[in-house]
Amino acid sequence: MAQRRREIGVRAALGARPGQLIALTVREGLTLSVVGLLLGLSLAFWLTKYLEGLLWGIAAYDPPLKAVSV
């Protein structure tokens, strides 16, 4: 966090406009969020398919099962 604060300070001192600094911060935060979301969803999908093989007589996408598990 402190390193990031210094970087933003240097950019501001070199003439970056506030909008540019905000865009930089938001863009990097959104990139991290999107990567995490894609990894999480793909792992959840894979894990559901994997666990479906362990269930006997119940489909992993069974609506009553989803309602009880939530």
Residue 17 pLDDT: 95
Range of the domain at 41: 2-69
Residue 45 pLDDT: 82
| Residue 53: both structure tokens together | 């093989």
**37 to 7, 12, 33, 42, 44: CA distances (angstroms):** 27, 31, 6, 8, 10
Q: Are 52 and 59 spatial neighbours (Cβ–Cβ below 8 Å)?
A: yes
Number of structural domains the chain divides into: 1
pTM to 2 decimals? 0.60
Nearest C-alpha neighbor of 66 from the set 58, 35, 23, 10: 58
Q: What is the mean pLDDT of each run of 10 residues along the chain (70 residues)?
A: 85 94 93 95 84 73 67
Report d(CA 27, CA 33) in Å as an integer. 10
| Residue 52: both structure tokens together | 């479906």
Residue 19 pLDDT: 94
